[in-house]
Amino acid sequence: MRFTRLMPAMACAALLTACASPGDGSGTLAKGATMEASVAAADAAVAAGQPDKAFAVLKSASQAFPADKTPWVRMAQMRFDANNYGQAIIDGLEALERDPDDTLANSIVAVSGLRVSSKALAELTRKNKINGDVKSEAQDLAKLLRTSLGQEELVAPRPKPPTRTKPAGTTTTATAATPKPGPASNDPFSVIK
């Protein structure tokens, strides 16, 4: 009887000590770690075939250095390479919040967005069984988009600029208006009246 009471208490104690142990530190940065060391550790984890560990290192680096774009760009690149375009867009946008002029982050966001869009269009095409050449398929998709949006035209046509035509029989010559001599006065505005 004593054994049945003691066993659950020992199991709870063992479980609590396992939770309190420091572990291997795979997801935390050591004190004084630099961004370069974190990126190097993430690269080593990727080379060792441990992308989850690399993401954990980069995530903790992003928390340790919140103003630095480097971990976000690196995570976006890793997600892009793994064909996880949705998460690549999210990580790329995080990098762009820190540096709006980052070309790599902009490229990752743009290409990932295009790949997500093309995948969605391909799925839409497959489900609607739209066949034919590219032009007719594009027209069918545009028609479907117009119906979905409730608009006659997706893009309004440009208004034509007005054309100026000269009358055929008239010629224009520039003649300067000569002021009429009036009474001798010193009023310079007398010719206007």
Render pLDDT for 32-67 as a digit per residue (tens, 0 to 9): 578 888 899 999 998 999 999 999 999 999 998 889
Would residue 80 count as lying in a domain?
Answer: yes
Would residue 47 count as lying in a domain?
Answer: yes
Would residue 52 count as lying in a domain?
Answer: yes
Would residue 166 count as lying in a domain?
Answer: no
Would residue 22 count as lying in a domain?
Answer: no
Quote the number of domains for the chain. 1
Would residue 99 count as lying in a domain?
Answer: yes
Would residue 187 count as lying in a domain?
Answer: no
- List the CATH number of the domain containing 119: 1.25.40.10
Render pLDDT for 118-165 as a digit per residue (tens, 0 to 9): 788 778 777 776 556 666 777 777 777 677 666 666 555 566 667 777
Render pLDDT for 65-124 as a digit per residue (tens, 0 to 9): 889 999 999 999 999 999 999 999 999 999 999 999 999 999 999 889 888 887 887 787
Q: Which domain holds residue 84?
A: 35-149
Higher pLDDT, 3 or 186: 186
Convert the chain into a string of H (helix), E (strand) and C (coil).
CHHHHHHHHHHHHHHHHHHHCCCCCCCCCCCCCCHHHHHHHHHHHHHCCCHHHHHHHHHHHHHHCCCCCHHHHHHHHHHHHCCCHHHHHHHHHHHHHHCCCCHHHHHHHHHHHHHHHHHHHHHHHHHHCCCCCHHHHHHHHHHHHHHHHCCCCCCCCCCCCCCCCCCCCCCCCCCCCCCCCCCCCCCCCCCCC
Confidence at residue 193, expressed as pLDDT on a 0 to 100 scale:
60
Query: CA dist 12 to 5, 17, 181, Å?
Result: 12, 9, 116
Render pLDDT for 160-184 as a digit per residue (tens, 0 to 9): 667 777 666 655 555 555 555 555 5
Would residue 107 count as lying in a domain?
Answer: yes
Confidence at residue 140, expressed as pLDDT on a 0 to 100 scale:
74
Confidence at residue 17, expressed as pLDDT on a 0 to 100 scale:
60
Region 3-12: what's the mean pLDDT?
A: 63
